[in-house]
Amino acid sequence: MLIHLIADYGVNDLAFNEVVHKLLILDQSLLVYPLSVPPFSTIATGFCIGQLALDFCPGSCIYSNTAPRKDDANGRSHNAGEFFVYAELDNGMQILTVNSGYSLSFVKNNIKKLHRVSVSNHGSQFRSRDNFPQAVVGILQGNQDFIGEQIDPATIPDIPKSRVAWIDGYGNIKTTIRQSEVKLQPGQEIQIDLNTTKHIAKYAGGAFEVHEGDLALAPGSSGGDDRFLEIFLRGGNARRLFHKARVEQHIGLRPYAYACVPEESIIKVNAKNSPQSTLPDDDDEDDDN
């Protein structure tokens, strides 16, 4: 069994090794592939779950832990956190995850079964190592004793509108805006407001349909049949252009009109003469997402 381990531990964090180690103690036949998401980001977590779960590979599953504990702002007795749940999708994919924020939002419409997992949700600051692995391995081995009460998938929030969902290693900004949600024509100029920064982009049918140095808003590589739009700086780095944009930030789109926007906020982007898009930042190594 292949397990995609999605968590906000941080790139090369020892926590990944400890969780993998615990899983292999319980079942040495497992193959575990870790994937780090930004701290506390349930949007990024949900986006990654959606990408991996909706394109089902038989013999694979997802174990996810992003637990910001934002469901209750009061002090947490015994390090209690959000509940651990089991979901089975209509394509057969099994997901074991902390039911936090938007972690299941990107697969909400595909959930066939949703249950609480019968395992302690308190008693450890490191539940994904100390509490959950036994239930994960048990369920994957067919032990139904870990399957608890049923949950209505309608309680899961919808995908949030107009947010940064993910930023890849090239600085391309993947959004939660579906292609079907916009009424734009190829070549149309639009203003993108993100991270207190405004830039003019061209809407394109594909990211590489713009010239080298142009900023594009285009259907990206994520989202299945109704693609998520992506902000793409050809030959450069869109994340740096938007002052190191971060996941979960809101994105504003509006048709571009010189008369409506102060002149000083209009920046025509060209990667060839933009130092932001050609020179790496000293602190970029660990915060691409």
* Regions in the chain scoring below 70 on pLDDT: 69-81, 207-208, 257-289
Contact 8, 48 (CB under 8 A): no
- What are the residue ranges of CATH 3.40.50.10790 in the chain? 2-155
Question: What span, in angstroms and rounded, lies between the C-alpha atoms of 171 and 175?
Answer: 12
Residue among 176, 156, 197 at smallest CA distance from 247: 176
Cα 41 to Cα 8: distance, rounded to the nearest angstrom: 7
Q: What is the pTM of this model?
A: 0.85
Per CATH, the homologous superfamily of domain 164-278 is: Bacterial fluorinating enzyme like (2.40.30.90)
Q: In this predicted structure, what is the pLDDT of residue 76? A: 32
pLDDT at 289: 52
Q: How confident is the model at residue 205, as a pLDDT? A: 83
Q: In sequence order, what are the beta bridge partners of 252?
A: 193
pLDDT given at position 70: 58
pLDDT of residue 125: 80
pLDDT at 255: 86
pLDDT attached to residue 274: 40
* Residue range(s) in the chain whose domain bears CATH number 2.40.30.90: 164-278
3-state secondary structure of 181: helix
What pLDDT is attached to residue 258? 52
Integer Cα distance of 175 and 242 in angstroms: 14
Give the closest residue to 199 by CA, choosing from 266, 263, 259, 251.
266
Distance of CA 19 to the CA centre of its chain: 20
Q: Top-level CATH class of 2-155?
A: alpha beta
The confidence score (pLDDT) of residue 210 equals 79
pLDDT of residue 118: 96
Give per-residue pLDDT as tens, 25-80.
999 999 999 999 999 999 999 999 999 999 999 999 999 999 885 544 443 333 34
Q: Which residue in the block uniquely carries the two structure tokens 């285009």?
A: 218
For residue 244, the model assigns a pLDDT of 98
